[in-house]
Amino acid sequence: MINGIIIVFVGLVLGSFVNALVWRLHLLALRKAPSSPDRLTSATNSFSSLDVPSGTSPSDKTVFARADSLWERGILRKSSLQSTKHPKKPDNKKYSIVSGRSMCPDCRHQLAWYDLIPVISWLGLRGRCRYCHRPISWQYPLVEILTAVTFITSYVYWPYSWSAIGITLFIVWIVSLISFMALAVYDLRWFILPDKIVFPLVGLAAIQIIMRTVLYGEISPILGGLIGVVTLAGLFYALFQFSKGQWIGGGDVKLAVALGMLAGGAAESVLLLFLASLIGTLVSLPLLLSKKLKKNSRIPFGPLLLMATFIVYIFGSDIINWLKLYYFY
């Protein structure tokens, strides 16, 4: 019980870290190309395409009308600063990925510790900045809560032992979940799976394969991981080449290398794909029916794959055993 409470608390805090990480990564990406307006337009376009009726030209008006969260307004203000007569030198120091105090992207007021308590600060301030009173997106507390949910679910249904290696594996998995959340948020917002998160995740997945190998004392996890990578990344790469990047993005292929390793086998990879498609259908059908989503709207595949990988990692062997029991014997 005490452990559970601690894990939920850590999940909320790290969820808050995910929010900061995504925001800072995006600012860094924009700053790398400060003079190119394309980058900004494409970022806002892809964002608008999520909930602005297609056909609407992303004029400044719509862009600013869509800028209803701190993230967008922070980005738009930054870039408008750069494009006006006083081009400010990018102060990258302020936006390094991990260092530096958090501040409100709107009024740039530094946030105190009591502004940064996950969920509670947001609720206490009724979703507004304490200093400029502009709204703070509900996505901040949502990401914090979802991160905590993935943590506690992993803890309760942990498929491995709680030996020293098992606990270490759990910690590596928790760190992987942070990158899962960051990738999902980034892909939903900007249709990009940044290498800066995908590559570390590939490393984390490889570490987990080694740890599983030690845990089991046999090489089957290594073989399973290799088969998973070949199945998932191989299929994605074929689809990517065949559709010239239309059906599947290059980021999805790179992500599939990590997810194939985490799935750890051919059956698991097929299950992962099936679950991702199933979740995609379940999510998009009501949206299509309520006309919130057009038939030609892009749906980011990353979050679906990540959700499916989470299910396969925690419940995969149970699901596969159950399927074998009822369908194959």
Binding site for Zn ion (CB under 5 A): 104, 106-107, 129, 131-132
Please give the helix or strand (H or E) that residue 29 lies within, else none.
helix 2-32
Locus of tokens 């009822």: 326
Q: Which is nearer to Zn ion, 131 or 237 (CB)?
A: 131
Q: Which is nearer to Zn ion, 31 or 77 (CB)?
A: 77
Could you tell me if 147 and 176 are in contact, meaning their C-beta atoms sit under 8 angstroms apart?
A: no
- Min dist CB 127 to Zn ion, Å, is 12
- Min dist CB 138 to Zn ion, Å, is 16
Q: Which is nearer to Zn ion, 129 or 267 (CB)?
A: 129
Q: Which is nearer to Zn ion, 111 or 230 (CB)?
A: 111
Q: Among residues 309, 15, 52, which one has the least CA distance to residue 185?
A: 15
Helices (H), 114-219: 120-124, 139-156, 164-190, 195-216
- How many Cα neighbours within 13 Å face the side chain of 138? 1
Q: Which is nearer to Zn ion, 64 or 131 (CB)?
A: 131
Q: Which two tokens stand for residue 27?
A: 């600012």
Q: Which is nearer to Zn ion, 132 or 167 (CB)?
A: 132
Burial class (CB in 10 A: 0-12, 13-18, 19+), 102: middle
Q: Which two tokens stand for residue 168?
A: 């270490």
- Min dist CB 96 to Zn ion, Å, is 21
- Min dist CB 112 to Zn ion, Å, is 12
Locus of tokens 């599983």: 212
- Min dist CB 130 to Zn ion, Å, is 7
**Residue 282 CB coordination number (10 Å):** 10
- Min dist CB 103 to Zn ion, Å, is 8
Reduced DSSP (H G I as helix, E B as strand, rest coil) percent helix, strand, coil of the chain, to 5: 70, 0, 30
Could you tell me if 155 and 166 are in contact, meaning their C-beta atoms sit under 8 angstroms apart?
A: no
Q: Which two tokens stand for residue 169?
A: 């594996």
Locus of tokens 């946030």: 111
- Min dist CB 188 to Zn ion, Å, is 24
- Min dist CB 136 to Zn ion, Å, is 8
Q: Which is nearer to Zn ion, 137 or 284 (CB)?
A: 137
CA 8, 316, 271 angle in degrees (round to 5)? 125
- Min dist CB 77 to Zn ion, Å, is 11
Residues β-bridged to residue 110 = 103
Q: Which is nearer to Zn ion, 75 or 169 (CB)?
A: 75
Q: Among residues 210, 182, 181, which one has the least CA distance to residue 196?
A: 182
Q: Among residues 312, 314, 283, 315, which one has the least CA distance to residue 299?
A: 283
Q: Which is nearer to Zn ion, 131 or 199 (CB)?
A: 131
